[in-house]
Structure 1
Amino acid sequence: MSKKTYQRQFGGRTLRVEIGEMAKQARGAALISYGDSQVLSVATAKTESANAGFFPLMVIYQEKLYAAGKIPGG
């Protein structure tokens, strides 16, 4: 998949969405940038189960202490 970039001014800052460059082993990935903040969103999937009556969804959220400026032992 080739890299695609979309940009738009929003609230006085640049909102940028980049797809097709990162996480190439995933089914889909997007790097969203707004000002100095960035979020990498990745989706993976396997073959569809015919008897599933629901959509299983799992979210893994990890907050690192150093992201909040708290460094252990410092």
Structure 2
Amino acid sequence: MKLFAVFLAFTLCALTLVQCLSLPDPNVKCAMDCEMQETNYLCAADDKGTTKTYRNICVMKTENCLQNANFQKISDKECP
């Protein structure tokens, strides 16, 4: 009976570990290689009118994804 309990506990631990390892990392879907992109500063604004300068469009898209934001390019230069 003790052997069965040990086996059951081991099985439950193994299943939990497998399930945890298979959960997707939310940051992976947002991962973009922006380091190789050329620096072309741009000004972007969100729905609230907040403006922010980004190094390039790739960085803006990555931050939008990671922060669940909605910044859109409004000019090809830094924000005032």
TM-score between both structures, scaled by the size of structure 2: 0.21
By relative contact order (CA 8 Å, sep 6+), the higher-ranking structure is: 2
TM-score between both structures, scaled by the size of structure 1: 0.22
Larger Rg: 2
